[in-house]
Amino acid sequence: MSYFDLQINGYAGVDFCSLDLTGEGMRKACEALAADGVDGILATLITDSVEALCAKLGAMVRMREEDEFVRKMVRGFHVEGPFLNALPGFIGAHPADCVVPANRDDAARILDAGGGLVRLMTLAPENDPDAATTRFLVEQGVTVSAGHCDPDLGTLERAIDAGLSMVTHLGNGCPVTLPRHDNFIQRVLSLSDRLWVCFIPDGAHVPFFALRNYFRITGLERTIFTSDAIMAAGLGPGTYDLSGAPVEVDAEGVARRPGSPNLAGSTIRGHQVAARLRTELGLDEGQVDQVYHWNPLKALGLS
């Protein structure tokens, strides 16, 4: 069995978000992913200046062109930002000072730099209040996902009407404490029949008892699982440089910025995602294949 992961920020000591990424590093990460059962990914970039995002995308396009194996593994790019909600809690480990209002010009620059390979973009619908950027991205063939955001129900519904079709790592990218009933998680669950809903099944991003509750609502047909792996995936506990800033990984594999409660991605590996789905959610092999291979491909129009 093989897996497809639509949110890989790095792997095996290689940081896809670094301006110092090399072709050799990209191949090393792809080989490690393949060894862990993953046969395709979206290489993921988090929020940065638009100029830096474009430079990083351009570099990865060239690396992909120069290496057949990397080209086979990297099916495209997921750009998580810069059109997010910059408020504390919602922004998570992303740099708030690089957040900008959603706009067509910057979106077009990012797509151009990605050479037609930007498959997925995560944005905050409330940062695109007229949904014009969402509509533009969808027209260009990009899957648009809501994440690191707090749109009210009406704004979320309008974004869906404009073509938004996914939610990035539900249960994360939001403050630890939320209003009891009217919060982003509940709004998404109320509309989950219209959305692909992604989760990180590492037990840290969402406790497994809560994940089981969410999964009962979203179901096999509309759920996608992802590792949201960072460069520390597979390296064990320690302090690592993540895009120029330190990240601490504890004995349980949980990654955080020093002194911050915010999670900074995951260190779970591909085969571990599948194992957790079997042991914690009780999925059989065919169901794991659906939610960690076929559903993401279908959501991206790649199946």
Residue ranges and CATH numbers for the domains of the chain are 3-234+269-299 (3.20.20.140)
pLDDT of 30 reads 99
DSSP string, the chain: --EEEEEESEETTEETT-TT--HHHHHHHHHHHHHTTEEEEEEEEES--HHHHHHHHHHHHHHHHH-HHHHHHEEEEEEE-SSS--STTTSTTS-GGG-----HHHHHHHHHHTTT-EEEEEE-GGGSTT-HHHHHHHHTT-EEEE-S----HHHHHHHHHTT--EESSTT-SS-SS--SSSSHHHHHHHTGGGSEEEE--SSSSS-HHHHHHHHHHHHHHHEEE---B-TTTTT-SEEEEETTEEEEE-TT-EEE-TT--SEEEE---HHHHHHHHHHHH---HHHHHIIIIIHHHHHTT--
Q: Note the pLDDT of residue 67.
A: 98
pLDDT at 261: 78
* The pLDDT of residue 260: 81
Positive or negative, the Cα torsion across 174, 241, 52, 167? negative
Look at residues 69, 62, 73 and name the one whose alpha carbon lies nearest to residue 22: 62
Low-confidence stretches of the chain (pLDDT beneath 70): none
How high is the pLDDT of residue 1? 82
pLDDT at 132: 98
| pLDDT for position 264 | 87
